[in-house]
Amino acid sequence: MSDYDLGERLSKFGEEIIELAKKVSRNTITTPIINQFVKSGTSIGANYMEANGASSRKDFKNKIHICKKEALETKYWLRILSKAVPELKGEYRELWKENQELTLIFSKIISSLNKKKGEK
């Protein structure tokens, strides 16, 4: 494994999402929020893995766009979850920071892909 492995980082992020979700008590408010949070938070890594197996540059770019969209959605659910279950605030904050970094990474990848296309 290289010093920087985005796939591994995303897998760990997904695992942290799951661990946090396990700590939240289920009720009529938290259950749908947790379901959406886990879906969006774990799909970032799944879409990144699909991007790595893309059949074309266009397919790769599309999957990276989906990664960014899922990261943005996860950020939203983190905010909503922090209001629903404020006692886990410290854990939300750490995940939010990592999520923000991942969003910036995907934005940079997209920007680089757009520049390369424009250079041709």
Give the model's pLDDT for residue 1.
Answer: 42
For the record, the structure tokens of 27 come out as 């009720």
- Check pLDDT > 50 for residue 120: no
What average pLDDT does range 102-119 have in this prediction?
Answer: 88
pLDDT band at residue 119 under the 50/70/90 scheme: low
Inter-residue long-range contacts of 88-93, CB under 8 Å, 24+ positions, other chains counted: 88/20, 88/23, 88/24, 91/20, 91/23, 92/20
Residue pLDDT, tens place only, 53-86:
999 999 999 999 999 999 999 999 999 999 999 9
Phi-psi region of 56 (alpha: psi -120 to 50; beta: other; left: phi over 0): beta
pLDDT band at residue 4 under the 50/70/90 scheme: confident
- How far apart CA 39 and CA 2 sit, in angstroms, is 28
Give the model's pLDDT for residue 51.
Answer: 96
Domains of the chain: 6-113 (1.20.1440.60)
